[in-house]
């Protein structure tokens, strides 16, 4: 599994059931989609997969959605799922990395040493007629020793400083109409627009059929958005989920000087003391 961000369905099928291999269903669905990710997991998942609930493994002391929990809370939650920081981990989802990339990023942020994504995701696994199972998987509890990478995540104050000093390019993964302020935000009380000076690259432009596009297409997409991929980047989105897809795309290009704004537009757009642009 070393040397790549992804594993193939063939690889995963050949290693199913190995005790140190943890498979994670990281599917995340927006309320507007009218679906329930956990119920879909229970109805059908890759054998042995546990479900990583982004909304549950989160900081519940804030009203912002699925903010990162403390390292201690994260370690307890994933340890209860049967995941250790030394496990070999493969993450998949059913929605073009909408949740999978966030789970991949989060695990790495807290110190998991070997985390990959499944190329083609659940859709490919199913299309190839590979085995499925139902119900909830319970693995033996494990000890996850968290080593939180503070440099990988940005706070509101960090973003204010970056906006002022230009030390990073801010890249927003939301659809263009929301970025430009032409479409209403899905969360009540959140203004429309974007962080001043930021660039827009909708996350869906980097993904096709459950895979990140080839590196040359990723590089071209960032270039067309006005982003210099050789310089430091801050990714943002609606609530810190699809921003991880931009981060994943940059990782495929070898760019690791990237931070993710966890509060994203759910925080910035809901405040009265943060500037916004529309265009």
Q: Count of CB atoms within 10 A of residue 160's CB?
A: 16
Cα angle 59, 61, 67; round to 5: 30
Q: Strand 153-154 relative to strand 258-261: parallel, antiparallel, unpaired?
A: parallel
Rounded to 5 degrees, what are φ and ψ at 146?
-85, 135
Q: Count of CB atoms within 10 A of residue 68's CB?
A: 19
Distances (CA, A) of 110 to 91, 102, 129, 162: 15, 12, 34, 24
Nearest Cα to Cα of residue 236 among 226, 227, 245: 245
What H or E segment, with its residue span, contains residue 172?
A: strand 169-172
The first and second tokens of residue 31, run together, are 């309320």
DSSP letter for each residue of 210-238: TEEPPHHHHHHHHHHTT--TTS-EEEE-S
Note if 237 is an active site residue.
yes
Residue of 173, 229, 234, 237 marked active site: 237
- With beta carbons less than 8 A apart as the criterion, state whether 116 and 123 touch: no
Active site residue ranges: 237
């Amino acid at each position: 599994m070393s040397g790549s961000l992804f594993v193939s369905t063939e690889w995963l099928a050949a290693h199913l059931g190995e005790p140190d291999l943890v498979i994670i269903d990281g599917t995340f669905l927006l309320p507007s989609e009218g679906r329930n990710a956990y119920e879909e997991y229970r109805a059908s998942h890759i054998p042995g997969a546990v479900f990583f609930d982004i909304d549950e493994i989160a900081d519940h002391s804030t009203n912002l959605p699925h903010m990162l929990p403390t390292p201690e809370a994260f370690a307890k939650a994933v340890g209860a799922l049967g995941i250790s920081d030394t496990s070999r981990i493969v993450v998949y989802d059913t929605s073009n990395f909408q949740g999978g990339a966030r789970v991949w990023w989060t695990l790495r942020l807290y110190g998991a040493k070997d985390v990959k994504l499944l190329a083609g995701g659940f859709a490919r696994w199913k299309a190839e007629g590979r085995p499925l199972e139902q119900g909830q998987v319970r693995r033996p509890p494990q000890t996850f020793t968290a080593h939180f990478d503070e440099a990988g995540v940005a706070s509101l104050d960090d973003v204010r400083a970056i906006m002022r000093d230009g030390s990073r390019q801010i890249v927003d993964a939301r659809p263009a109409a929301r970025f430009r302020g032409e479409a209403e935000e899905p969360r009540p009380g959140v203004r429309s627009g974007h962080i001043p000076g930021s660039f827009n690259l909708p996350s869906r432009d980097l993904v096709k059929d459950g895979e990140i596009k080839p590196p040359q297409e990723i590089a071209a997409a960032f270039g067309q958005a006005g982003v210099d991929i050789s310089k430091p980047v801050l990714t943002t989105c609606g609530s810190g989920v699809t921003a991880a897809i931009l981060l994943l795309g940059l990782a495929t290009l070898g760019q690791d000087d990237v931070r993710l704004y966890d509060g994203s537009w759910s925080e910035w757009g809901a405040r009265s003391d943060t500037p916004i642009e529309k265009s």
